[in-house]
Structure 1
Amino acid sequence: MNTSPSLPTHHTARQRALHLLHEWSKSAENDWSTLPNHPSLGVYGTGYDGWGTQTQQKYAGALATLAVFGTEIPGCDPDWARERALAALRFNLASHKSGQLSCTDGDQWGLTWISALGTERMMFAWHLLKPWLSDEDQSSMRGVLCSEADWILNSYHRGGRKGIWAEKWASEGNDPESNLWNGAHLWRAAAMYPDHPDAGAWQEKAHRFLINGVSVEADANDESIIAGKPIRERHLGANFFPHYALDHHGYLNVGYMVICMSNAAMLHFDLKAEGLPAPESLHHHQRDLWQVLRKMIFSNGRLARIGGDTRVRYGYCQEYLLPSLLYAADQLGEPFGLDLVNHQLAFIEKETRYNADGAFYSRRLADLRKQSPLYYTRLESDRASALAMLATHLDSTKFPEAPGSKNFEQSVAGSWIEPEHGAAIHRSPTRFASFSWRAFELGQGLCLPPSDGHRAEWEYNLGGRVEFCHHPHPHHFGPAKPHREIDRYHLEEFPGGFYTCGTIVEGTHINLAESWCGTDSARLQTAFAALPDDHTVVGLHFAQMGDRRGYVASIKGLHLNLPNDLYQDHQLALTTASGKISLRSPAHKDEDVNLQSHWAQLPGKIGVVGLYGASSLSLQRSASRNAGIMKTLQTEILSYPLMEGPLRYEAGETILDSGWTLISGKSSEETRKLAENRLAQAVECPIPDWRVVRILGQNALTYLFMANFGSGAGTLSLENILSPGENAEDLKTELPVTEVALLPSTARLLAIH
């Protein structure tokens, strides 16, 4: 990352954010309407309760920002923006359960576990609009904030769970983000209305919520004093794993790690602007969380969603990284915060230019807009809200000077691992390598240069996939049972990398056209290793049919996603043994392309070599956007092998048996040499269900990677594998190894000398 003085200053970043907001505000007129019988009130979006209400609140914040700072942007009319902001704000206040009107769906909003989120995201605008607020506005806001605070104090529940909850696993009640925003709301209400008889109780309850926001198991015994009490006295449970992995919405959710930090950021800056004290508990473990989270940000500003994402690519959680970066700089001393802000602004600007109408998502999410105006305007307003916070708080943010001896990539280099949750990262300036067993789609990896996060797409990436006929497809607007489940996994780290092996049960909850249903159709085992050479990862797959006949729709070993959308200008170029291939997107039709090559060099210096299990790499192309459950990014899928069904497999029959290697940050010539000179290859193993590969690393050292895909434990004597004069060494202990014992579905990586 460039950290030279030529980078835009924070003032220039504000101009960029304001320009984006100004253009967006004009496009947002398509979704603006005045209220029947109330011409002074208006609504952006649907005006419904729930997300419609929060969309309205975020719009008010965005337009308030233009009302105050719009004079800095040519062509902006601050008076018009102020009228829109006040019209939206006043309708929002009037349609609350403390008000006299209703939302456009006939309900009033508020007094739920999530209603404080919208007010928290709007309250920076309250400070901006103060010169134009009437006594009635002030009274209405007091009614909203105090009634919400009293409900949180006395009646709080989330779903069927009453009171504050904090559990590591989503299935048991993982509530870090709502604990943070409800705690923030309580403190805000007490700070704004200290004369309220419950203000003291609100403050104490705020501390309990905030201490149980970014909470870990060690807090249960922590004697450190925060706000007059040991942490352990207010601690109720751990929302985060010991190394700050977050199992939210049922998967490793990097995005909600950001949401947790963004809620601390909003209260931090709002109180700072008002000259009000912040609660000590607000910053509880935020520094610890940030030290992990910053490793999960590509240097172009995009989040590295190592656990996948159930929502729109580049949307929602990504937006709220912007205020989080300001908070990280101002409160936590992050020296590269402004750099990352500017890089994120760059890709927001690119998509806005791509749309050519001022909107943030109008082309890429055109289908979603038709399907759900409510959800589409929610997403548009999230980006507007984050940009407005950025423009508002930039001037008050203290940006530490970046260290001249280290750039961002050097500062985030190294390993992170969360063994219990099944996730690991190794990062260097030439390779971002990760694997997460409890990703949204389960069993997902990454390997790419960390300088270009646009090359990443998470869905099933590097995990392989066996899709049975009639398996249910999850989608965002309705539930679907999962078609795969975790059985087991094991992770090991060592200096410079990690390896892992585990099993996913494929084809669960299969229902064949009214007459037959079944589950646990097959077992897919995957072994994955990041070598200690800062370039290479290796993957092995083995899938076997269960105890009955099964019908498989498609099989994909490798499953490397290649984004080919607006950030690639809809064009990719591949180099293979058969020549160069140019791929324009979208494809003219859905099709599978045999590359007639065991190796390929991909854009962004990513090389792939098939080791065994297929005659060639194959590419699956799509005529429409295909990534994620909401289909919001165009990707090409490279597989080794690729087989399309329906295919019949008998009980116990092998479905997939393949291996491959990826190298990051190297040229096509180096990829070709690795393949054609057999510097990476399968090794014959005397134990039938074991797989062994031998790879020359980019550090000129040789490695053996092996996995036990059988049903029983076994021991392999290395004299059957090594050449005369060679010796094996354990990468963790650096001790010599002469034999390897492996339990089922485990792996081992050795160095050869």
Structure 2
Amino acid sequence: MPFFQDSIQNEYLSLLRQWAKGIQPYIFTPADRPDLSYYGDGTNGWGVQTNQKAFAALAVLAKLDCDEGLHKIALALLRYSLESHITGSYHVTDGENVRWGHTWISVLGIERMIHGIDALWEDLSQEDLGKLREVLISESQWLYGHHPLQADPVFPNVPESNYWNGAVMIRTAFMYPDCPMAAQFLERGTAFLLNAVSVPSDQDDITRLYAGKSLADWHVGANFFESMALNHHGYMNVGYMVICVSNAAMLHFSLRKWGLPVPPAVYHNMDRLWQLIKTCLYDDGRLLRTGGDTRVRYCYCQDYLIPALNFAADALGEDIDQWERGWISTLKKEFMYNNDRSFLSKRCELFVEKSPLYYTRLESDRACCIAFSAYWRYVFHNFKVPAGTGTYAANKDFLTPLPQWNDPYHGAYFVRDRRRFASFVWLAAERPTGLCLPPDDSSLAEWQHNMTSVVYGDGITHDNVVISHGGHMLSGGFVTYGRYLAHTKGLLAEQLDEEDTVQVRLAFAALPDGHTVVTLQYADAIKTCHISEVYGLHLLVPNDVFNDFTRLYTEGDRWISIDDRYTAFSLYGDPLTLHRQEGRQIGLTHGWSNGYRYRGFLHCDEICSTKVTAPRFYEKAAPVFDFGCAVVTDVNAAKADAVRAQFRTLDVDLPLVRAVRVIGLNNRSYWFVANFSDAAALLDLPEIGPVCLDAGTAEVFEDRSDNQKS
């Protein structure tokens, strides 16, 4: 048994032991190579990486438990990976002439399995070590000679691949200094790392030196905006911010173990990036993905938060205990619910049935990441004191989460209060999306068009096309506004495959009271069109395994209270209704409606203002919905009527101008006004006076008089 254990390590090892006993149906041995095995389907690409991650998990468990049986399985998985590479003597399962390697993503699996190799290093044969050397040098040579170094905040946006490709080249240079190209690998690897978590101001930085050259001289392009926002896969992607830090963790800890120098480029902009990630973390370790997600909820990027947390502790001096323990609790809840020694079998039952590759890919991500933490806790005892970072010293100012943040490109706004998380992102994964949640219950978070209305046309897929957006931060809040088109694709008409149907004009404000969000929305048909379903407001409340399938709803006069934690109010327009979908409707984004709409990975209840579930025609310019709603944290059912009585709407003799007054929980009065028209609007607000709004904009006006009246 290991000479050092802590309770977190023990929790991880307990999960790994059970998982290892349940994976036999997914481990295969080729008939013509009984010395090799693979986990998953053994195919090129993700199949190879799935096998590599499973190897890492089993290798760590074999090492820490001194388990000879697991040791043999782990070695067989490793040898399949090495032998099926371009430099090897075997092949992947795609065909006898197919081997993996020499692509932009080939070395990702190597980096993710490296802690397994480190764990079994003393047990590897000379043949194993020789083949590993061949693979690493071959991949580094290909990257050096064939893979371009690019970076762009929009496209090509490649922060994570720049990092893992740079990491493997630096690793190879340090592991094999006798390699004739070691110096070239080190130089090129440094360039990749410095252009991974890169920002526009790097191009002007002549003060920071790396390997004798200024940062400006190394700079090729910025993958991040100066705000540290990341536009990966075409949206504001908190998850891939985590992936970048996780890859830094893999290089950092491995070099530390072997007593090798950790180049300062490893830590480039990591403290700034960590601050934004930390800002988007619940206390229980779950990511608040303000820009949403296109994939399975609480998997992949969430799993790789574990290596990122370990890195933040060891390299930046962060206290990660609460986050990691909280995430372990979430893992165990789902693990016990499955009751079959798997991490995801019930939520991902569709993948078990239709895509074993995707299912084993997700299972191996989770196993690989918890093994990562278990192993490095074994090696370094704890992560309390930063060590092994060479000349790097983190800026401690970046350990403080941001109270508010925004990024103009994505139309992203976020405020983090003691009693409220509020955000809005126009260029989100499922755009746009807003949130207003109590900050101490991560199970309430979901972002699939949340608080932004959904219109389903007659096609099989549906998305929104953002036309315009604007806004600005307030002191303790924000206001944003814009327009989007409801788009449907895959129509059953020979002459028409896709169409835009409805224009939605939306305004959204987080008031500076630390509790309240208000949204005003108006939609009309842009032509005579046929609509299948409409869900105005579309406030999502997850109701799944993570909250024990239990939600308490109390309904009153134009309000619905959720778990007595926060309350949604209808200010004008249709009253609120609670809509319960028939199955897990939150699935993969692209093409999900095509056959699997209710076989997703998370179930949500939906609170709606306007709700139309019967298909119908709308004439051109006909209103589809017109409503105002508020969500207020710390308002339970007992308080809801009193809060509702303080809301007020203003009758405005101007088309498409909407104004509501809200008394915040700080007892201050706010008017939220939206001008949805195409011309400037002048109106007289009670307690405020005359105000003018440009076309298509919105604003919050606070009554600062001493004698406010409700």
Normalised TM-score (structure 2): 0.93
Match of 2:563 among 603, 610, 623: 603
- Aligned amino acid, residue 284 of structure 2: N
Counterpart CA distance in 1 for 2:274 and 2:122 is 36
CA deviations over 1:37-84 (Å, ceiling 9, x no partner): 22221111101111000011001100111111125xxxxxx1111111
Match of 1:148 among 124, 139, 147: 139
Counterpart CA distance in 2 for 1:85 and 1:417 is 46
- Preserved CA contact (<8 Å) 1:127 1:274: no
- Aligned amino acid, residue 146 of structure 2: S
Counting aligned pairs with the same residue, the percent is: 39
The answer to whether 1:36 aligns with 2:31 is yes
Q: CA deviation at 1:130?
A: 1.4
- Preserved CA contact (<8 Å) 1:448 1:456: yes
Counterpart CA distance in 2 for 1:412 and 1:495 is 16
SS in 2 for 1:490: strand
SS in 1 for 2:88: coil
Equivalent residue for 1:379? 362
Equivalent residue for 1:683? 650
- Aligned amino acid, residue 126 of structure 1: I
Counterpart CA distance in 1 for 2:300 and 2:34 is 31
The answer to whether 1:485 aligns with 2:465 is yes
The answer to whether 1:674 aligns with 2:669 is no
Equivalent residue for 2:203? 220
CA deviations over 1:588-634 (Å, ceiling 9, x no partner): xxxxxxxxx410110260111111110x2122222221113261001
Counterpart CA distance in 2 for 1:573 and 1:330 is 41
The answer to whether 1:748 aligns with 2:699 is yes
The answer to whether 1:119 aligns with 2:79 is no
What does 1:256-405 align with in structure 2 at a 5 Å threshold? Answer: 256-335=240-319, 337-395=320-378, 396=380, 397-399=382-384
SS in 1 for 2:615: strand
- Aligned amino acid, residue 581 of structure 2: S
The answer to whether 1:24 aligns with 2:19 is yes
Equivalent residue for 1:655? 624
CA deviations over 1:626-678 (Å, ceiling 9, x no partner): 11326100111111121123121111111111110001123222223212x2x
- Preserved CA contact (<8 Å) 1:538 1:662: yes
CA deviations over 1:178-232 (Å, ceiling 9, x no partner): 0000000100000100100100000110111011101111111111212211111
- Aligned amino acid, residue 563 of structure 2: P
**Equivalent pairs, count:** 675
Counterpart CA distance in 1 for 2:179 and 2:563 is 61
* Distance change >3 Å, CA 462–CA 10, structure 1 → 2: farther
Q: CA deviation at 1:378?
A: 0.2
The answer to whether 1:613 aligns with 2:604 is no
Equivalent residue for 1:209? 192
Match of 2:606 among 634, 637, 643: 637
Equivalent residue for 2:85? 96
Counterpart CA distance in 2 for 1:748 and 1:312 is 36
Higher alpha-carbon deviation: 37-46 or 619-628: 619-628
Counterpart CA distance in 1 for 2:151 and 2:405 is 23
- Aligned amino acid, residue 220 of structure 2: L
Counterpart CA distance in 1 for 2:633 and 2:65 is 44
CA deviations over 1:425-459 (Å, ceiling 9, x no partner): 10112100000000111110111111111111110
- Aligned amino acid, residue 130 of structure 2: S
- Preserved CA contact (<8 Å) 1:489 1:500: yes
Higher alpha-carbon deviation: 483-492 or 284-293: 483-492
Q: CA deviation at 1:508?
A: 5.4
Counterpart CA distance in 1 for 2:676 and 2:495 is 34
Q: CA deviation at 1:166?
A: 0.6
Counterpart CA distance in 2 for 1:198 and 1:449 is 54
Equivalent residue for 1:572? 551
Q: CA deviation at 1:576?
A: 1.1
SS in 1 for 2:532: strand
SS in 2 for 1:749: strand
- Preserved CA contact (<8 Å) 2:450 2:540: yes
Moved over 4 A (4+): none
The answer to whether 1:13 aligns with 2:8 is yes
Higher alpha-carbon deviation: 554-563 or 195-204: 554-563
- Aligned amino acid, residue 615 of structure 2: P
Counterpart CA distance in 1 for 2:498 and 2:69 is 60
Counterpart CA distance in 2 for 1:449 and 1:316 is 25
- Preserved CA contact (<8 Å) 2:564 2:636: no
The answer to whether 1:557 aligns with 2:536 is yes
Normalised TM-score (structure 1): 0.88
Q: CA deviation at 1:110?
A: 0.7
Match of 1:52 among 37, 47, 51: 47
Counterpart CA distance in 2 for 1:283 and 1:604 is 44
- Preserved CA contact (<8 Å) 1:413 1:428: no
- Aligned amino acid, residue 624 of structure 1: G
What does 1:433-444 align with in structure 2 at a 5 Å threshold? Answer: 433-444=422-433
- Aligned amino acid, residue 667 of structure 1: N
What does 1:510-549 align with in structure 2 at a 5 Å threshold? Answer: 511-517=491-497, 519-546=499-526, 548-549=527-528
Counterpart CA distance in 1 for 2:640 and 2:254 is 52
SS in 2 for 1:391: helix
Q: CA deviation at 1:525?
A: 1.1
Q: CA deviation at 1:494?
A: 1.5
The answer to whether 1:627 aligns with 2:586 is yes
What does 1:457-468 align with in structure 2 at a 5 Å threshold? Answer: 457-468=446-457
Q: Cα RMSD between the aligned structures?
A: 1.7
Counterpart CA distance in 1 for 2:38 and 2:616 is 53
Counterpart CA distance in 1 for 2:439 and 2:587 is 21
SS in 2 for 1:116: helix
Counterpart CA distance in 1 for 2:651 and 2:323 is 47
Q: CA deviation at 1:467?
A: 2.0
- Aligned amino acid, residue 213 of structure 2: K
CA deviations over 1:328-386 (Å, ceiling 9, x no partner): 11111212x12111111110011001111110001111111111000100000000000
